[in-house]
Amino acid sequence: MTETAVIEPGHARAFLQFGRWVPHGALNRFEPSCNLEVRDLSEFIQRVETDRFRVLEITQGWDMVVQGAGSHARAGWWGRRETDREINRYRRFRLHSPRQSAVMRLTCHAGDRDWREARPPAWREVLECVGDKIRFTVSAGERPA
């Protein structure tokens, strides 16, 4: 990390979009974004300081955003089917730093999409989200256990 992240009171995440830190309320949920997550909520501001984090694991997954319009959707109203819903696909980087053990992960989302169009964010999109705030480097000779 090249710049300190500030996590607002009552939250456990700091958000990145278009290469800058943004408040949660300012996120465009249809565009790619990333969030840096710590273990605990706090009533005070939390900071994730400039540091070098090791990526322990990279996983992919999805979150459901919107389920169809209830029983009317199942009945076929408005041309929707029960399977019509929006999901958000992500890539999750589990992080480790001996100096900042409260930092858990960086999760990057591709943006909300219909389930048929949803895909995890491309590497290019991850890099656009984090901008110059987070840099990824590969260390020669390091292999996962």
Q: Model-level pTM?
A: 0.81
At 29, the pLDDT band (50, 70, 90 cuts) reads: confident
State residue 77's pLDDT score: 46
**DSSP annotation of 122:** P
Percentage with pLDDT > 70 across the chain: 81
Q: Which residue has the higher pLDDT, 21 or 89?
A: 21
Cα separation, 26 vs 90, in Å, equals: 19
Cα first-last separation, the chain: 24
Domain map (residue ranges) of the chain: 5-130
Let me know: does 115 contact 87? Beta carbons within 8 Å. Answer: yes
Cα separation, 106 vs 127, in Å, equals: 12
Cα separation, 26 vs 16, in Å, equals: 10
Cα separation, 131 vs 125, in Å, equals: 10
Calculate mean pLDDT across residues 125-145. 83
Cα separation, 9 vs 53, in Å, equals: 23
Q: Which residue has the higher pLDDT, 30 or 10?
A: 10
Cα separation, 5 vs 21, in Å, equals: 7
To 5 degrees, how large is the angle CA 94–CA 100–CA 104? 25
Percentage with pLDDT > 90 across the chain: 61
Q: Which residue has the higher pLDDT, 111 or 83?
A: 111
Which pLDDT tens digit goes with each residue over 39-55?
Answer: 999 999 999 999 999 99
Token pair, residue 18, equals 């278009």
Let me know: does 115 contact 85? Beta carbons within 8 Å. Answer: yes
